[in-house]
Amino acid sequence: MPDMKKDLHELELLLLENPILKSRFIGVGEISLAGGLALGLTGPCLRAAGYPLDLRRTNPYCGYETYDFRVPTYRVSDCYNRLRIRLDEAYESLKIVSQCLDRLDEIATRGDDPSNTTMVADPTIAWPARMSIATDGQGQSLEHVREIMGSSMESLIHHFKLVTQGFRVPAGQVYQTIEHAKGILGVHAVSDGGTRPYRVHFRDPLLLQPAVAGHDGGGRHDCRPRAHPGLHRPRPGRRGPLMSTTENTVNPAVETIATVSAVGPVGTVAQAAVAAGYSAEVAQGLQVDIERIIARYPAGKERSALIPMLHLIQSVDGYVSPAGIALCAARLGLERAEVSAVATFYSQFRRHPVGTYHVGVCTNALCAVMGGDEIWKAVTEHTGLGAEETSEDGTISLERVECNAACDYAPVVMVNWEFFDNQTPDSAVAMIKALERGEDVAPTRGPETVPTFRENERLLAGFEDGRTDEGRGPGKPTLRGLSIAREQGWTAPKEETK
Q: Which own/partner pairs from 192-200 qualify as long-range (CB within 8 Å, at least 24 positions apart)?
A: 193/168, 193/169, 194/168, 194/169, 195/165, 195/166, 195/167, 195/168, 195/169, 196/166, 197/169
Confidence of residue 476 (pLDDT cuts 50, 70, 90): confident
Q: How far apart are the C-alpha atoms of 91 and 406, rounded to whole Å?
A: 40
The yes-or-no verdict on residue 263 having pLDDT over 50 is: no
* Mean pLDDT for the chain overall: 80
* Nearest Cα to Cα of residue 94 among 222, 180, 8, 216: 8
pLDDT of residue 210: 60
> Distances in Å between the alpha carbon of 246 and those of 36, 231, 250, 275?
12, 16, 9, 16
* Nearest Cα to Cα of residue 437 among 376, 409, 395: 395
Distance of alpha carbon 8 from its chain centroid, rounded?
Answer: 19
- In which order are the strands placed within the sheet that holds 172-180? 172-180, 183-191, 199-203
The yes-or-no verdict on residue 118 having pLDDT over 60 is: no
In the chain, the amino acid numbered 351 is R
pLDDT of residue 40: 84
pTM of the predicted model as reported, rounded to 2 decimal places: 0.52
Q: How far apart are the C-alpha atoms of 202 and 213, rounded to whole Å?
A: 22
Q: How far apart are the C-alpha atoms of 41 and 207, rounded to whole Å?
A: 9
Contact between 465 and 455 under an 8 Å Cβ cutoff? The reply is yes
What pLDDT digit, counting tens, does each position of 2-21 carry? 888 899 999 998 898 888 88
The yes-or-no verdict on residue 215 having pLDDT over 80 is: no
In sequence order, the 6+-apart residues with CB closer than 8 A to the CB of 171 are 191, 192, 193
Q: How far apart are the C-alpha atoms of 189 and 200, rounded to whole Å?
A: 4
- Report which of residues 116 and 479 the model is more confident about: 479
Q: Is 147 exposed, middle or buried (0-12, 13-18, 19+ CB in 10 A)?
A: middle
Q: How far apart are the C-alpha atoms of 404 and 413, rounded to whole Å?
A: 8
User: Can you state the angle between helices 79-110 and 2-16, rounded to 10 degrees?
Assistant: 170
Mean pLDDT of 32-60: 89
**Helix, strand, coil percent content, the chain, rounded in steps of 5:** 45, 10, 45
The yes-or-no verdict on residue 457 having pLDDT over 70 is: yes
Contact between 385 and 392 under an 8 Å Cβ cutoff? The reply is no
What pLDDT digit, counting tens, does each position of 274-314 carry? 776 788 888 888 889 999 999 999 988 889 999 999 999 99
Q: How far apart are the C-alpha atoms of 338 and 345, rounded to whole Å?
A: 11
Confidence of residue 117 (pLDDT cuts 50, 70, 90): low
Q: How far apart are the C-alpha atoms of 496 and 31, rounded to whole Å?
A: 57
Q: Please report how many Cα atoms fall inside a 13 Å half-sphere around the Cα of residue 483, on the Cβ side.
A: 7
The yes-or-no verdict on residue 67 having pLDDT over 50 is: yes
Helices (H), 295-361: 306-317, 322-332, 336-345
In the chain, the amino acid numbered 148 is I
Confidence of residue 247 (pLDDT cuts 50, 70, 90): very low
Contact between 79 and 25 under an 8 Å Cβ cutoff? The reply is yes
Helices (H), 17-141: 19-25, 33-39, 44-47, 55-58, 79-110
Cα torsion 111, 112, 117, 123: sign: positive
3-class SS of residue 103: helix
Q: How far apart are the C-alpha atoms of 87 and 261, rounded to whole Å?
A: 42
